[in-house]
A and B are shown apart, each in its own frame.
Chain A
Amino acid sequence: MNKKGPLYAFFLSLVLLLPGCSSLAVLNPKGPAARTLSDTIILSILVMLGVLAVVYILYIFVLVKYRAKKSNEGYIPPHEEGNVWLEAIWIIIPIIIVAFLSVVTVKTTNEVENVAAEYKDQKPLVIYASSSNWKWHFSYPEEGIETVNYVNMPVHRAVEFRMYSFGTITSLWIPQLAGQKYAMSDMLTTLHLSADTEGSYIGKNANFSGKGFAHMEFEALVMSSKDYDEWVKEVKETAEPLTEDTFKDLLAIEHIGRKTFSSTHLTFSPPPMDHSEMDRDMDHDQMDMDNGNMEHQDNKEIHPSPEPSAETEFDGEPNPELDQPLPSSPVEEHTSHNSN
């Protein structure tokens, strides 16, 4: 019978899938944000399996019991208007389930939108991630370095990605470290993540952005803070600085391999503002940039020294220009770069 073939294929697929859980990147988290999300997902799957079970049991029961068969030939089904109490049950119980999941959602959404609890007392490492055509640019304003299509970060360190785009909407996603967020041309978005296992993770653009989209991947390499500092040092010593002309050429290219520079494009092509920053920085000098007229922040390259810039006086938000020693950072070596 024709219907059995696909049925077997279906069950075979389930059997094949079960041992493959470790390949489910989303459920194999390597950092607190991704772990929160993975836990949320598993919790919701369990609740939903319960819902499914109730529906399926009822469904099978009514189909088996009330199907037309020879023995109930003359049976005339009764007229039923409904039952207030029964209907109340299947209104109230779903409301309780939804309320429970709402609490979980609000709590976990707030969690992953902020620095993870275990890294709360650190000042996050700020990395600007911007997309152009089908490449990713990662600028490290504190270190004064920039990479293309790969990002290195220290383990056990709060990292704050600030994302924007030189073109279409893209979405920065490192599934094993955190959920995704859009990078857009007219607004800066923020993604908090940290890794607690060293390793190489796949990062990608998740939002369709044209014909090069499928190849818009990058490597997120999480390394020990010592290795990280050595890498930064090496980049500063060996890589070329990024000039405005080089950057213009770079933006125009569709695809490119890895690139490393010893300065960032943020100096001559500042990012758009975060909405919250827009009001604060209204009185700052303006500068034209490729992606619209936005206020820019103080020149990071010329004054990388730990002088508090104007923005920081307005509130307690972490400032990328500040490369101060962290009060209780587990990465003490980090401060050795202040001299840069």
Chain B
Amino acid sequence: MDLERFKVHGEPLIYGAMISIALATIGIIVGLTYFKKWGYLWREWLTTVDHKRIGVMYILAALLMLFRGGIDAMMMRLQTAAPELKFLDAQHYNEVFTTHGLIMILFMAMPFIIGLMNVIIPLQIGARDVAFPRLNAVSFWLFFFGAMLLNISFVIGGSPDAGWSAYFPLASLEFSPTVGNNYYSLALQISGIGTLITGVNFIVTILKMRAPGMKLMKMPMFTWSVLITNIIIVFAFPVLTVALALMMFDRLFGSQFFTMANGGMDMLWANLFWVWGHPEVYIVILPAFGIYSEIIATFSKKNLYGYTSMVFSMLIISVLSFLVWAHHFYTMGQGAMVNSFFSITTMAIAVPTGVKIFNWLFTLRKGRITFTTPMLYTLAFIPIFTIGGVTGVMLAMASADYQYHNTMFLVAHFHYVLIPGAVFAVIAGFHYWFPKVFGFRLNDRLGRHAFWWIAISFNVTFFPLFFLGLMGMTRRTYTYSAETGYGPLNMLSFVGAVGLSIGFVILVYNIYWSTRYMPKDTNGDPWDGRTLEWATNSPIPAYNFAIVPKVETRDAFWSAKQDNIPLFEGNITKIHMPSNTGKPFILGVIFFVFGFSLVFSLWIPAILSGIGILIVLATMSFDRDHGFYIPAEEVIATEKKLRGETV
């Protein structure tokens, strides 16, 4: 066998990465063995089907990926900080911006949001778990091993280098002969299947498992946003699945779907990619809107203004999100008629989005606003996201887009949308729900510190890019000459990027500091919350609610507190829970081996692991496991302990 294919050559940076990955792996293995934590890890985490633990693992993975993607971003900003820098060569730069995009969207924003979904949705609807807890574990492990597969590409064989959109023919075997884009097609495929399963799981969970009395129009806004998001997932991801499968056939088996010869059509890839890719943007942004709605209501001590129009605006956005994909390539020559159609549908999205902005502003009006860390991120979101939104309308105008397309203006726009629209939201949600999961708050002073660094540096980093775009600087350019005049603004942007990293370091330090020093939160409701997740204890017991709550109004917990409406009635009885299983994890491992073998065209291991996947799926289907019961006495004892009462 030709071992050369597995090696990545050259760069001291890559050798550094190899060494650090190896050291970290050894460190984790030695640490687990030394502290005898293997059993704990297996029993409590790797085999868990508990939605909260799965959510926590999603968020941990997302945080790791945030730093991986962040390092990519820093390398890009450093390379372009001044003209003609030699920090990265073209090939390395191309790999870095490709993985930056892939990781930030698919392995950071999405899992972070799915993690928050996992932790919060069953609690918000008063359920004991998701509808299919075991499938939920399958989703996570497929996502996780998909992410790992993409990440090892950096040190084994080489990363994808054709951009996160992987346009053909550039991503075809002819122009990208390395295994990089094989990794792309397989890693995304594996984690994409996981996401699709999540979509099914949460739709069923929200439609079938709500607490008695919680009509659809009484659901919290975050639950609504997640329901709509998962409907988008179920419609959009199959397109990606098909596109990636065709890509894999093209690259591994010599089919010609997107190639230049034999009737292959490169434009077909661009269409399929964006038919998935644009709804994908709303998959990460709609839940963010939900998170902000919860936080704004909580910290202005008011119910959400215009609840009905908030729900309908999200429904309209979800429909429109499927009708706008061609705005990603107005310049493909499809003519003025087609472009005009897509311009109008795209701009139409501004209307429901505007409705949401004004509803939030009117929720704040007449409120009593407190500026906690989650609220600061939320309040920063409104003005920054509005800039992203209005530049989006500008880009939607097909004619003008001929001048913005592929430039830094576009880069500035989508960072102005995605960072406040998704990253600020998950950070806000992280701070907001952290005490629910861990039983103590993150320190507010450090939180504000990090917030100001992040919010201001964000603008310093990305605002100059609007001007660079208008100056004619194209995106994905690894270097430029001094005569172009792009130097000063890029340097400013680099300074901002340094500020952003400082902010994120403080954010992580805050997690460490708060774990050590923050006092335990005792009543489970540190923010004076409005929705059901605050009605149970923190940290949350495995069964979520000792008694299933009865819901009468929209902000069920708030009305319970204000008007003394009893939420929990009846006696504590035994609680049925799903049992842990190691099969989802094993399935993930086999999928990883399968994907890796296909990446390198190792047919025998690929066939064997393919059969392995089928066997695991079959055994999972024929499993007879009806779960177990937690006896009523144990529930009562746990409840007492969590409330600080001695048993």
Contacts and interface: CB of A to CB of B under 8 A. Distances in A.
Name which of B263, B340, B472, B478 has the most chain A CB atoms within 10 A of its CB. B472
A190 B350 contact: no
B402 A181 contact: yes
Contacts of A78: 302, 366
B499 A6 contact: yes
A38 B404 CA distance: 11
Interface string A76-102: 111111110011001100110110011
29 contacts: A6-B499, A9-B495, A13-B460, A16-B488, A17-B467, A37-B400, A48-B390, A48-B391, A55-B386, A65-B365, A66-B367, A77-B300, A82-B306, A97-B350, A105-B398, A108-B399, A110-B340, A111-B399, A179-B331, A181-B402, A184-B267, A185-B169, A187-B333, A202-B472, A208-B163, A208-B170, A208-B474, A212-B90, A213-B477
Interface stretch (A23-31, A140-148, A236-244): A23-31
Interface string A311-330: 00000000000000000000
Interface in B345-382: 347-348, 350-351, 354-355, 357-359, 361-371, 379, 382
Interface residues of B, number: 106
Interface of B: 90-91, 94, 161-163, 167, 169-170, 174-175, 260-261, 263-267, 300-303, 305-309, 329, 331-333, 335-336, 339-340, 343-344, 347-348, 350-351, 354-355, 357-359, 361-371, 379, 382-383, 386-387, 390-391, 393-394, 396-407, 449, 452-453, 456-457, 459-460, 463-464, 467, 469-472, 474-480, 485, 488-489, 492, 495-496, 499
Contacts of B307: 81-82
Given A26-B403, A41-B400, A102 B470 contact: no
A75 B400 CA distance: 49
Size category of the binding interface on chain A: 35 or more
B480 A214 contact: yes
Interface in A36-64: 36-38, 40-41, 44-45, 48, 51-52, 55-56, 58-59, 62-63
Contacts of A181: 331, 333, 402
Nearest to A65: B365
B133 to A, nearest CB: 36
Contacts of A56: 383, 386
A167 to B, nearest CB: 7
B443 to A, nearest CB: 16
Given A94-B355, A109-B340, A206-B474, 18 more contacts: A2-B449, A27-B470, A37-B402, A52-B386, A56-B383, A56-B386, A63-B379, A83-B306, A90-B355, A91-B309, A98-B348, A105-B397, A105-B398, A109-B339, A109-B397, A167-B169, A168-B175, A173-B472
A63 B467 CA distance: 30
Contacts of B399: 36-37, 40, 105, 108-109, 111-112, 179
A213 B347 contact: no
A13 B492 contact: yes
Nearest to B333: A189
A34 B472 CA distance: 13
B382 A171 contact: no
Most buried by B among A23, A62, A189, A205: A62
B175 A167 contact: yes
Contacts of B387: 52
Closest 6 CB pairs of A and B: A179-B402, A189-B333, A82-B306, A48-B390, A3-B452, A108-B399
B275 to A, nearest CB: 18
A190 B369 contact: no
B333 A72 contact: no
A77 B367 contact: yes
A175 interface: yes
Given A182-B329, A213-B476, A3 B471 contact: no
A40 B397 contact: yes
A138 B170 CA distance: 22
A214 B479 CA distance: 6
A68 B343 CA distance: 42
A79 B343 contact: no
Interface in A95-127: 95, 97-98, 101-102, 104-106, 108-113
B370 A68 contact: yes
